[in-house]
Amino acid sequence: MSLRPISFESETAIRYEFQLETFEKESCSCRILIAKFAGDYRPGHLGAPDGWFVRGITEAALKVWCPDALVLDLRELSSTWGDEMEEVLGIRGEIQVPFGIVGSESCLPAIGTLVQVFYGAEKIKTATDAENIFYNMEEALEYVHQKV
């Protein structure tokens, strides 16, 4: 048997960080998980491991902290086009809690093309035309606060 050590770091250069916001709403304690991802999401099929990594880490965090909502902070993620990105964005219903996405010019144009394909170019011209995608964190948090 030949075993070799493996690690997430050897599969992708994407970095991550989590924060948890807690607050009271209508006598309930609510929690919003903020999942921040940074780095270069590789283009095309080369980006598949990056997408699997981001999706897997997000799924693990959702199971560990059981939040009422999620914000994906992609402002420091650079992406031009990547396989598996639609799963990262929850376009097909992969994310089971209310969620918002905050991005920047380094990723939102590419995200916009995916959102156009799913929702239709007649409805979505840019990523932020989608109801849950924003350019700033405050708007994304406000959105998920309303959904909780």
Residues 148 and 25 sit within 8 Å (Cβ to Cβ):
yes
Q: How confident is the model at residue 83 (pLDDT cuts 50, 70, 90)?
A: confident
| 8-61 pLDDT tens trace | 888 899 999 999 999 988 888 999 999 999 999 999 899 999 999 999 999 999
Per-residue pLDDT at 71: 98
Per-residue pLDDT at 46: 92
Which fold, 11-147? Transcription Regulator spoIIAA (3.30.750)
Residues 111 and 78 sit within 8 Å (Cβ to Cβ):
no
Is the pLDDT reported for residue 120 higher than 80?
no
Is the pLDDT reported for residue 143 higher than 90?
yes
Average pLDDT of the chain, as a whole number:
92
| 96-106 pLDDT tens trace | 999 999 999 99
Is the pLDDT reported for residue 132 higher than 80?
yes
The domain ranges of the chain are 11-147
Distances (CA, A) of 31 to 6, 62, 96, 97, 129: 33, 11, 14, 11, 26
Q: How confident is the model at residue 79 (pLDDT cuts 50, 70, 90)?
A: very high
Residue 41: closest CA among 6, 84, 72: 84
